[in-house]
Amino acid sequence: MPKIYNLDQIRSALKNIDPIDAIEQGFLAYSEGKVVVPPVGELIFDDPPGDVHIKYGYIIGDEYYVIKIASGFYENTKRNLPPYDGMMLLFSQQTGAAVAILLDEGHLTNVRTAAAGAVVAKYMAPSKVHCIGILGTGTQGKMQLDYLKSVLKCREAIVWGRSQQSLDAYVHAMAYSGFQIRTTLETSEIPNNCNFIVTTTPARSPLLFVDQIQPGTHITAMGSDTAEKNELDPAILQKADIVVADSISQCIERGEIHHAIKTGILQPDEVVELGNVIFQKELQRHTEEQITITDLTGVAVQDIQISKAVYEALIS
């Protein structure tokens, strides 16, 4: 019988682990070819609209394999229900037996996504970040900023949102984050004032344009995880000195890099993979003037790593 844990137990366990390190190790293993990640399973519903993704895989020679189920049913908010739900399941690579069910309600996906943003900052940020820019006021808008705290010294942030109401709610929620937060309704304020930018929206047309981007800027684009979503003018990727994908194979199919490759202004061989950036210093930012972009679409190895780390904390 697998052990079953609820969200409260998972939140407690998270206090005893370092998700950023777990995710960093995962990207390393992934880019070294040690991770088996089949194509994502998908179910689409029309009425009400919803989608379910099944991400699964394993690190070769590891103790567990992991299956993650995550759903988004966007009309749930009309009934005051959370739109997202999910669970992560751990199984033994030795016997196939179910070991643990983490009923995380989607929270571990948020954690592993925010942790990936911190890994990116560790290797790609300018040496002096004077202001962090966040586009989007949702869960990742908050969590990305929160997770940057342990890897960047900067405590100034500007947040862009579509309404003053959502911006006010953001500032209220982040009151104890340790950041000095200003808000804006103008996207241009972000590239004008920030040299480390995170885009976290579900936008389907660009929010930032090539002429706005100043030398020395890093952008982590993590909102776009499908073929349709798009936050950056593809010309930004053409102008960038370094373009990093969490998974090259996945970023060819979805996300910002996908758009730039489709329009022909970026070639797949101009993209480097995050796991390689981590251990090859020459792939990291090496001047203060470079423009660098990282596209995060979410890779199953992040689910594998976060669920393993949480489970090990739960049983220790």
Does 202 bind a copy of itself (CB under 8 A)? Our answer is no
Q: DSSP readout, 135-149?
A: E--SHHHHHHHHHHT
H/E/C letters for each residue in 47-92? CCEEEEEEEEEEECCCCEEEEEEEEEEHHHHHHCCCCEEEEEEEEE
Which member of 98, 151, 210, 313 binds a copy of itself (CB under 8 A)? 98
Q: How far is the CB of 299 from a copy of itself (least distance, A)?
A: 16
Judged by CB under 8 A, the stretch of 82-90, 146-154, 168-176, 242-250 that binds a copy of itself is 82-90
- Alpha-carbon distance 51 to 285, whole Å? 37
Does 175 bind a copy of itself (CB under 8 A)? Our answer is no
Does 45 bind a copy of itself (CB under 8 A)? Our answer is yes
- Alpha-carbon distance 105 to 125, whole Å? 31
Does 33 bind a copy of itself (CB under 8 A)? Our answer is no
Does 257 bind a copy of itself (CB under 8 A)? Our answer is no
Nearer to a copy of itself, 2 or 268 (CB): 2
Provide CB contacts within 8 A for 150, sequence distance 6+. Answer: 20, 118
On the CB side of 299, how many CA atoms lie within 13 Å of its CA?
33
- Alpha-carbon distance 38 to 58, whole Å? 10
Which member of 14, 59, 87, 219 binds a copy of itself (CB under 8 A)? 87
The arrangement of strands across the sheet holding 132-135 comes to 180-184, 156-160, 132-135, 196-199, 218-221, 292-295, 242-245, 271-273
Q: In this structure, what are the phi and psi dihedrals at residue 308, rounded to the nearest 5 degrees?
A: -60, -45
Binding track over 46-65 against a copy of itself, x by CB under 8 A: --x-x-x-x-xxx------x
Does 227 bind a copy of itself (CB under 8 A)? Our answer is no
Does 72 bind a copy of itself (CB under 8 A)? Our answer is yes
- Alpha-carbon distance 297 to 225, whole Å? 5
Does 314 bind a copy of itself (CB under 8 A)? Our answer is no
Nearer to a copy of itself, 54 or 265 (CB): 54
**Three-state secondary-structure class, residue 245:** strand
What size, in residues, is the chain? 316
Which member of 5, 30, 64, 73 binds a copy of itself (CB under 8 A)? 73
Nearer to a copy of itself, 73 or 123 (CB): 73
Which chain residues interact with a copy of itself by CB under 8 A?
1-2, 4, 6, 36, 38, 41-43, 45, 48, 50, 52, 54, 56-58, 65, 67, 69, 71-73, 76, 79, 81, 84-85, 87, 89, 91, 93-98, 101, 103
